[in-house]
Amino acid sequence: MRTNKRILPRLFSLALVFLLALTAAVPVFAANTPANTENLKITIHNNKGLPEMTESQFNVYQLFSGTPNRDSIPSGADWDASEWNNWSLADIQWGASIKEKDAQDALITALKALVPANTAWLDAAASNPFKKVSTAADLAAVLENNKENKFMQGFADFLMKGKEGGNSFLTALEITGTVDKKNTETTDDDILTYDLTGQGTGYYIFQDTNNPKDVTAVSEYIVAVMGTQDIDMKASIPTVDKQIVGGANGTTEGDVAGVSDYVQFKLIGTLPKNFADFETYEYIFHDTLSAGLTYVNNDKDHPLTVHVYADKTAMEADTALSQGTVPEANYTVSEKGSETEAPICNLEVKFDDLMKITPEPTAASYIVVTYYARVNENAVIGSEGNPNEVYLEYSNDPHDEGTGKTKEEKVYVYAFGLDLTKIGSDTAHGEGNGLPGAGFVLSKKDTAGNTYYAKFADKEDGSKVLTGWVKQSATEPASEGEFNVDKLIQDYKDAKKALVETKEAEKTNAADTLAKAKDALKDYLLESGVKGEIPDITGLDEGDYTLKEVIVPDGYNSMDDFELRIEADINTDGTLQKVVYTHGGKTTTYLGTEGAYDAAEYVGETVPADERAGRVKHFESGLLPDTIVNQKAPLLPFTGGIGTLIFYVLGIALIAGAVTYLVISSKKRKKAE
């Protein structure tokens, strides 16, 4: 990475050299008034993305003074700025910033000593254009004959740093600007106006002295001042944005994703307005993933791509990412940092020279990088989310080395979890006591109806962590990435039934079979502890889930499948607004802050004030609480008990009654005959 070895106050903080012809080629400005010596003002319009301008942002120098040559000006007062090309400044003299004869001689001597072969902004094959300069008019003539950007940029830079010791040849005037903050309807962030009426017409240099730490660029202005003029700050810096493709609720700033889910990111970079003034342009995306996301590489289904678009319209139209593809030879991709630490940069996409890539970019182009990351078991759950950010490093000086840095742009990925407790319907294992020994598997279905089972791993503290989802195999043997979990569940149930029905002498073998069946399920099984606590399930996406009871505690009936739904709303800025949890027809809503309570947000719920704080706590933690109930099995009578005797007595009575009825009916029929 290049660094500027000559970072001095001459490195100015906007971008580009705004060059104007010094005699006949005065530029066209909009909405200007006729030139005069009583109303000399320069108004500099800022560009979005640059730091706000300040009253002392520019050093102002007058290099030359002169008298307006009005010979070709049309008669009458109503003429616009386009007519300025028909006249110029005559009688060129040294300006107020270089009045001392010693300073003038030092400048001329230094210019004559330049060696074109050793001076980047001069034509190495030509002779020194300043060798015959002796007056201000001579110097102005040389500049008029060499109006290309490279030459003028080099000359302005030479003025600012060319003196021995790095001091400017010029002395700044004591002029303070006036800053006017513009409203959001304009393209300006702000404007800065300098009143030069007291200084008179002439050629001025405006040296930008800002040098923010993280947003740097270089800017020098040479301007012919003959009236009130507006300068649209051609200077600008590139910008960068990070988006999530297909984010939740239609936003590009946030998304909800669970463990093993893929998230596609889009990095969008722009270029400065003075891009064409650079000979080379270094451009680097520095992307940082949180510990809960892993960059996916070497995956043909989830590739990293780079595109160059002519403008914003072309970029937005290419939803299939099929246009402007940049060959891999034009850039390098490297990974830095790690998943478990806080890295400075996880992913770096670097262009050594953006000028040489294909397709060739322009100042209006958009540079787009897309890539995928996968949510891993380190994902943070709850409203904190998993932030991901990017910043750009870019060349900031058209005629020297050096790079600047944009501010970071963030997006967020959220995940959630379940905090479940198992209880029985009886007092012994009811609320507050819990029901141990129950075992569950968690599953979900995709849009095609395929079933996926949650797979867990044991942590050192004895808890479980969700590591991914396994697709239920529809074939035997199972295809790659699939498994027949349903068979494992059925094997366990069959072994349990066999143990109950096996004779006492064979119980040991049946128990071993049951233990093996349970062990085969261990990667999918969640068991309730002594207080009925079920291990927290973290890293869940939005969607519908099913908790199925596989192990039923003795003395309890098997429960129905526990169906639940998780939904979330994300604000347009990527922050999490609320989480909605639904089970058994009951909906519970968790808002971001207690102060944000609004009855309408709670989907018809009436939430007491003292309960809202608890809702906020669960929202922040990301764990959605619920209780699962098993019904106590009814106590049926044993053989020979009083219950059975009652059935016998009732049965005999009914039979006796039926016999009596038949006998009486038979006698009545015989009498009737």
Could you read off the pLDDT of 565-586 as tens digits, one per residue?
999 989 889 999 889 999 988 8
* Amino acid 289: pLDDT: 93
* Amino acid 560: pLDDT: 93
* Amino acid 2: pLDDT: 40
Domain span at residue 261 reads 240-414
CATH at residue 372:
2.60.40.740
Q: How confident is the model at residue 624 (pLDDT cuts 50, 70, 90)?
A: very high
Q: How confident is the model at residue 673 (pLDDT cuts 50, 70, 90)?
A: low
Q: Indicate if the pLDDT at residue 599 is higher than 60.
A: no
Domain count, the chain: 4
Q: State mean pLDDT over 351-366.
A: 95
Q: How confident is the model at residue 635 (pLDDT cuts 50, 70, 90)?
A: low
Are 507 and 526 within one domain?
yes
Beta-bridge mates of residue 287: 347, 390
* Amino acid 535: pLDDT: 94
Q: Quick count: other Cβ atoms within 10 Å of Cβ 339?
A: 16
203, 224 contact by CB (below 8 A): yes
Beta-bridge mates of residue 469: 454
Show which of 203, 232, 261 is a domain's final residue.
232
CATH at residue 538:
2.60.40.10
Q: Indicate if the pLDDT at residue 235 is higher than 60.
A: no
Q: What is the pLDDT of residues 247-296, one digit of tens each?
A: 877 889 999 999 999 999 999 999 988 888 788 999 999 999 999 999 99
* Amino acid 216: pLDDT: 46
Sign of the four-CA dihedral 516, 521, 523, 528: negative
Q: What is the pLDDT of residues 647-669, one digit of tens each?
A: 555 666 667 666 676 656 666 66
* Amino acid 19: pLDDT: 32
Q: What is the pLDDT of residues 112-141, one digit of tens each?
A: 999 999 998 899 999 999 999 999 999 999
* Closest by Cα among 571, 566, 626 to 593: 571
Beta-bridge mates of residue 381: none
Q: How confident is the model at residue 36 (pLDDT cuts 50, 70, 90)?
A: very low
Q: State mean pLDDT over 172-179.
A: 91
pTM comes to: 0.73
Question: Does a structural domain hold residue 2?
Answer: no
| 667 vs 541, more confident | 541
Q: How confident is the model at residue 31 (pLDDT cuts 50, 70, 90)?
A: very low
Show which of 178, 203, 232 is a domain's final residue.
232
Show which of 392, 414, 436 is a domain's final residue.
414
Are 215 and 255 within one domain?
no
Q: State mean pLDDT over 438-458.
A: 95
Are 266 and 319 within one domain?
yes
Question: 101-112 and 136-144 are packed helices; what angle lies between their axes, rounded to 10 degrees?
Answer: 40
Are 107 and 217 within one domain?
yes
541, 257 contact by CB (below 8 A): yes
Q: State mean pLDDT over 147-173.
A: 81
Q: State mean pLDDT over 31-52.
A: 64
Are 400 and 421 within one domain?
no
Question: Does a structural domain hold residue 4?
Answer: no
Question: Does a structural domain hold residue 26?
Answer: yes
Are 609 and 626 within one domain?
yes
* Amino acid 424: pLDDT: 93
Question: Does a structural domain hold residue 183?
Answer: yes
Q: Indicate if the pLDDT at residue 91 is higher than 80.
A: yes
Instruction: Please give the mean pLDDT across all residues of the chain.
Output: 81
* Amino acid 502: pLDDT: 87
* Amino acid 3: pLDDT: 36
Are 657 and 626 within one domain?
no
* Amino acid 615: pLDDT: 79
Question: Does a structural domain hold residue 621?
Answer: yes
Q: What long-range pairs does 120-128 form, CB within 8 A, spacing at least 24?
A: 120/154, 120/399, 121/150, 121/151, 121/153, 121/154, 121/155, 121/157, 121/158, 121/399, 122/151, 122/154
Are 373 and 270 within one domain?
yes
| 372 vs 201, more confident | 372
* Amino acid 379: pLDDT: 95
Q: What is the pLDDT of residues 144-157, one digit of tens each?
A: 888 777 788 788 88
Are 431 and 512 within one domain?
yes
* Amino acid 534: pLDDT: 95
Question: Does a structural domain hold residue 379?
Answer: yes
Q: What is the pLDDT of residues 455-504, one digit of tens each?
A: 999 988 778 999 999 999 988 777 888 999 999 999 999 999 999 888 88
CA pair distance 226, 38, nearest whole angstrom: 10
Q: How confident is the model at residue 604 (pLDDT cuts 50, 70, 90)?
A: low
Lowest mean pLDDT among 226-240, 307-321, 568-582: 226-240
Beta carbons within 8 Å of 194's beta carbon, 6+ residues apart: 41, 42, 43, 44, 58, 60, 175, 177, 178, 206
Q: How confident is the model at residue 7 (pLDDT cuts 50, 70, 90)?
A: very low
Are 39 and 168 within one domain?
yes
Question: Does a structural domain hold residue 245?
Answer: yes
Are 652 and 558 within one domain?
no
Question: Does a structural domain hold residue 126?
Answer: yes
Are 88 and 26 within one domain?
yes
Going from the C-alpha of 606 to that of each of 250, 598, 619, the distances in angstroms are: 29, 10, 18
